[in-house]
């Protein structure tokens, strides 16, 4: 028997098809939406039983995608913007009508509106994710985005804005006392903003001088070593007079975690006369200082929690000491090769040598 039921605040569906009972979360708090979702699943099961291959429109796929996929809030927000941008071109179409020509027309239309190539690439990334999921559902046989060439769309250059040490000290001096510990830990650890403000006291291992991060962007736990300044800052936070009872290392007077310090950060930048700076640039600052002090790129990648060394390579241009050393090594070898291959000076004949002695 097909039915909808609630677990906590979320509605689930249960139905039987082909002798198999299926239970799925409708990922909604509304019963009507859960019932509509159940009906769609029943219709699909009936079509498969008849051997039919029902066609599904783009909008239907978008609706199901956001119901069934688990994506991070920031990604969901970006994909939501892309789905709205795609709707005028793809909304009336069945999924099997989307091909390279339709995609090319969409790209051309977006370019004419003046949006950047990076934005168009994000739109296509969502379309590709949607089509890939549709293939898993059995709604589509191939992903049309995979065969579309993006060579005409420039990739955005990664941002590598960072502060000089004297700029950071100026920013620190212009900041509120509540913000200063967060600023120091940002440039001393390279943590992402969510990682930093989500730090709990249990994440701190003072004897080992480490932070243990279980909740990361890449879902890969990692350990981050602590510098002397970071250690001093953490101890000051833990031992601050009147510190509220809170699991969070950085917390407001009520013991709650900060969502961010966007307004205070902007005010501090203005007072310090520092332009074009975002909070994430403090992470770039940590990486840049690390590389400029001849830090190892592989170790930097591990500290930052990058998924690949390619992401860390953006900081490689900041270190030239190893290049100078390599040039000197090559120059010395070239000089030695010249000495080895140079013709030896001819010895004078014996009679000339004798006349010289006379």
Mean pLDDT calculated for residue range 230-242: 96
Q: Are residues 61 and 48 in the same domain?
A: no
H or E segment and range at residue 5: strand 3-7
CA atoms of 259 and 197, how far apart (whole Å): 7
Over the stretch 101-125, which tens digit does the pLDDT of each residue have?
Answer: 999 999 999 999 999 999 999 999 9
- Any domain includes 180: yes
Closest CA to 95 of 126, 140, 40: 140
- Any domain includes 174: yes
Q: Are residues 64 and 74 in the same domain?
A: yes
Residue 128 Cα distances to 86, 123, 124, 300, angstroms = 12, 9, 6, 32
Residue 207 Cα distances to 185, 188, 191, 235, 248, angstroms = 18, 18, 20, 12, 19
- Any domain includes 218: yes
* Model pLDDT, residue 358: 46
Q: Are residues 214 and 310 in the same domain?
A: yes
- Token pair 């039987």: residue: 16
Q: Are residues 98 and 238 in the same domain?
A: no
Q: Which domain holds residue 291?
A: 165-318
Q: Are residues 108 and 241 in the same domain?
A: no
Over the stretch 165-221, which tens digit does the pLDDT of each residue have?
Answer: 999 999 999 999 999 999 999 999 999 999 999 999 999 999 999 999 987 776 778
- Any domain includes 193: yes
Q: Are residues 311 and 280 in the same domain?
A: yes
Q: Are residues 145 and 290 in the same domain?
A: no
pLDDT-derived band at 152 (thresholds 50, 70, 90) equals confident
Q: Are residues 314 and 266 in the same domain?
A: yes
User: For the domain that residue 270 is a member of, what is the CATH number?
Assistant: 1.10.443.10
CA atoms of 26 and 32, how far apart (whole Å): 10
Q: Are residues 104 and 7 in the same domain?
A: no
Report the SS3 class of residue 63: helix
CA 174, distance to chain mean position in Å, is 29
Over the stretch 31-90, which tens digit does the pLDDT of each residue have?
Answer: 998 888 888 888 777 766 666 667 899 999 999 999 888 888 888 999 999 999 999 999
Q: Are residues 78 and 151 in the same domain?
A: yes
Is the pLDDT at 340 greater than 80, yes or no? no
Q: Are residues 138 and 110 in the same domain?
A: yes
- Any domain includes 177: yes
Token code pair at residue 357: 């002695």
Report the SS3 class of residue 222: strand
Over the stretch 53-70, which tens digit does the pLDDT of each residue have?
Answer: 678 999 999 999 998 888
CA atoms of 82 and 75, how far apart (whole Å): 10
Q: Are residues 284 and 186 in the same domain?
A: yes
Domains: count for the chain: 3
């Amino acid at each position: 028997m097909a039915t909808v039921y609630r677990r906590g605040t979320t509605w689930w569906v249960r139905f039987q098809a082909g002798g198999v009972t299926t239970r799925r979360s409708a990922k909604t708090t509304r019963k009507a939406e859960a019932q509509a979702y159940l009906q769609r699943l029943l219709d699909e099961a009936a079509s498969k039983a008849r051997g039919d291959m029902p066609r599904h429109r783009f909008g239907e796929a978008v609706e199901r995608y956001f119901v069934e996929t688990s994506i991070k809030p920031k990604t969901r927000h970006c994909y939501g913007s892309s789905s709205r941008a795609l709707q005028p071109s793809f909304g009336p179409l069945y999924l099997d009508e989307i091909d390279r020509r339709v995609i090319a027309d969409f790209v051309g239309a977006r370019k004419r509106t003046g949006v950047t190539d990076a934005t168009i690439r994000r739109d296509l990334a969502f379309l590709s994710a949607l089509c890939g999921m549709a293939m898993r559902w059995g709604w589509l046989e191939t992903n049309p985005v995979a065969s579309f060439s993006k060579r005409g769309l420039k990739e955005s250059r990664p941002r590598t804005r960072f502060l000089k040490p004297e700029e950071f000290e100026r920013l620190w001096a212009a900041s509120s006392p509540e913000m200063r510990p967060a600023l120091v830990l940002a440039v001393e650890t390279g943590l992402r903003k969510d990682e930093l403000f989500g730090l709990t006291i249990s994440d701190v291992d003072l004897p080992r001088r480490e932070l243990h991060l279980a909740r990361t962007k890449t879902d890969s736990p990692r350990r981050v070593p602590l510098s002397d300044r970071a250690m001093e800052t953490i101890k000051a936070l833990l031992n601050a007079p009147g510190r509220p009872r809170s699991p969070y290392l950085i917390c407001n007077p009520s013991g709650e975690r900060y969502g961010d310090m966007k307004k205070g950060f902007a005010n501090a930048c203005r007072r310090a006369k520092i332009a074009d700076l975002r909070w994430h640039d403090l992470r770039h600052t940590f990486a840049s200082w690390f590389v400029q002090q001849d830090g190892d790129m592989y170790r930097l990648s591990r500290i930052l929690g990058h998924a690949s060394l390619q992401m860390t390579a953006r900081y490689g241009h900041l270190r030239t000491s190893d290049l100078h050393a390599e040039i000197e090594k090559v120059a010395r070898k070239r000089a030695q090769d010249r000495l080895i291959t140079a013709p030896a000076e001819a010895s004078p004949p014996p009679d000339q040598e004798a006349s010289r002695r006379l």
